[in-house]
């Protein structure tokens, strides 16, 4: 075989390659990868230009392979596992090329135009991966702005969050971010996102005000707001406000045990035994309410009480725990 290949003329070699390309489209990618390896030997003056052209062509080839699978998944809301894995392989290859950064802005725009036709359908299950690729591709201000434009054409809560993240972290457009963020404050995590912005700017007072507002008005998850405010008031040794935040957690039935543990640690550091004891025992009520489950957590809290409480207090508490466990047949 080697002798026959070496004996081929340039025209015959060309005809052979064309025949292989027609019979198996995957050969095209193999040829492009071969050229990419050969480009490393190209003179420095042309190497970058040749490498970019090959990267761009290979990126689009991978997309042409992935697109039919994504379209099919969009149509049916999913598909075969083998096809899913195959598509992720193509998308992984695209992401690797994007990481190299040797792709022109023009081709990035062409690729994103093609990708968003499938992304906008939103029924394939590949949406997160496609957006990861877009984030990897974008490097310049112009490219991030183009992505914002594409996302903004079909606004959803998720896309708005993506846009605000780009404005804040990549475009550094504080005015655009703040205008959009302040018009979209519904959940606890929305308020936390805004509070984080001010924390990063060193505007602690404003961050505290936003977090406090979030506890009053925010729906859903409030964990980060409670943690931030409890840390802030503990460091400021503002006992009244720390107690108020913990009571707010209890009232809202959100992160009660964690907040009571933080209150315990605060009073423990202040050498205030009675208040530390109160917080510790109150936190254990939430362990009991969960039926002493999970066991690891309840045992850890059990040990914490045993180590901290005075002997007389521990003796009374331990007897109560044993009696409750026996009554509920947990042993």
Domain range summary for the chain, segments of one domain joined by +:
1-137
Average pLDDT over all residues of the chain: 86
The predicted model gives 277-301 an average pLDDT of: 73
pLDDT recorded at residue 23:
52
Q: What is the mean pLDDT of residues 195-213?
A: 97
pLDDT at 330 over 50: no
Q: Using pLDDT thresholds of 50, 70 and 90, give the confidence band for residue 212.
A: very high
Under 8 Å between Cβ of 103 and 60: no
103-120 mean pLDDT: 96
Per cent of the chain over pLDDT 90 is 69
Residue 325 reports pLDDT greater than 90: no
Reading the block at residue 114, the tokens are: 């093609």
Q: Which residues of 107-126 are buried (b: 16+ CB within 10 A; e: fewer)?
A: bbbebbeebbebbeeeebeb
Residue 238, Ramachandran bin (φ over 0: left; ψ between -120 and 50: alpha; else beta): beta
The pLDDT value recorded for residue 269 is 97
Average of pLDDT values for 241-266?
Answer: 96
pLDDT at 296 over 50: no
Residue 173 CA to residue 171 CA, distance in Å, equals 5
Q: Copy the structure tokens of residue 193.
A: 């996102």
Structure tokens at 62: 């991978």
State the pLDDT at residue 97. 92
Over residues 306-314, mean pLDDT: 92
CA dist 141 and 152 (Å) reads 16
Lowest mean pLDDT across 19-23, 244-248, 315-319: 19-23
Assess whether pLDDT exceeds 80 at residue 159: yes
Percent pLDDT > 70 in the chain is 79
- What pLDDT score was predicted for residue 299? 76
Examine the pLDDT at 95 and tell me if it is beyond 90: yes
Each residue's pLDDT tens digit, 7-60: 545 554 444 445 544 555 565 555 556 555 655 555 554 556 667 788 888 899
Can you point out the beta strands (E) in the chain? Answer: none
Pairwise pLDDT comparison (90 vs 289), residue with the higher score:
90
Contact assessment for residue 245 and residue 230, using Cβ atoms and an 8 Å cutoff: yes
- Above 90 in pLDDT, residue 317? no
For residue 289, what pLDDT band results from cuts at 50, 70 and 90? low
The separation between CA 50 and the C-alpha centre of its own chain, rounded to angstroms, equals: 35
Q: What is the mean pLDDT of residues 103-132?
A: 96
Q: State the pTM of this model.
A: 0.79
Question: At a CB cut-off of 8 Å and minimum separation 6, what does 199 contact?
Answer: 207, 228
- Distance CA(115)–CA(165), nearest Å, equals 20
Question: Could you tell me the CA-to-CA distances from 23 to 26, 28, 69, 83, 105 in Å, in that order?
Answer: 9, 11, 20, 21, 33
pLDDT at 79 over 80: yes
Q: Does residue 153 surpass a pLDDT of 90?
A: yes
- Using the predicted structure, report yes or no on whether residue 331 has a pLDDT greater than 70: no
pLDDT of amino acid 55: 85
């Amino acid at each position: 075989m080697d002798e026959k290949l070496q004996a081929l003329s340039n025209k015959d070699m060309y005809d052979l390659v064309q025949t292989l390309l027609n019979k198996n489209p995957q050969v095209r990618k193999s040829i492009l990868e071969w050229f990419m390896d050969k480009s490393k030997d190209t003179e420095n003056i042309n190497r970058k230009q040749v490498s970019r052209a090959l990267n761009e062509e290979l990126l689009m080839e991978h997309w042409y392979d992935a697109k039919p699978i994504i379209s099919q998944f969009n149509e049916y809301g999913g598909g075969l596992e083998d096809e899913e894995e195959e598509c992720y392989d193509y998308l992984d290859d695209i992401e690797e090329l994007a990481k190299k950064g040797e792709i022109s802005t023009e081709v990035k725009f062409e690729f994103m135009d093609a990708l968003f036709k499938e992304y906008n359908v939103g029924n394939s299950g590949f949406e997160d991966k496609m957006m990861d690729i877009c984030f990897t591709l974008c490097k310049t201000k112009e490219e991030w702005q183009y992505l914002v434009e594409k996302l903004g054409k079909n606004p959803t809560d998720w896309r708005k969050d993506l846009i605000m993240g780009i404005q804040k972290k990549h475009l550094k457009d504080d005015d655009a971010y703040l205008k959009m963020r302040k018009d979209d404050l519904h959940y606890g995590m929305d308020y936390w996102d805004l509070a984080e912005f001010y924390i990063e700017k060193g505007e602690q007072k404003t961050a505290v005000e936003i977090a406090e507002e979030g506890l009053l008005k925010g729906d859903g998850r409030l964990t980060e707001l409670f943690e931030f405010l409890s840390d802030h008031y503990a460091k400021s040794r503002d006992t009244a406000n720390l107690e108020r935040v913990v009571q707010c957690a209890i009232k809202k039935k959100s992160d009660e045990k964690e907040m009571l543990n933080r209150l315990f640690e605060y009073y423990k550091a202040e050498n205030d035994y009675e208040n530390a004891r109160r917080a510790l025992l109150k936190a254990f009520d939430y362990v009991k309410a969960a039926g002493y489950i999970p066991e690891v957590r309840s045992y850890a809290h059990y040990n914490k009480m045993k180590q901290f409480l005075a002997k007389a207090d521990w003796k009374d508490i331990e007897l109560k725990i044993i009696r409750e466990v026996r009554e509920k047949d947990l042993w």
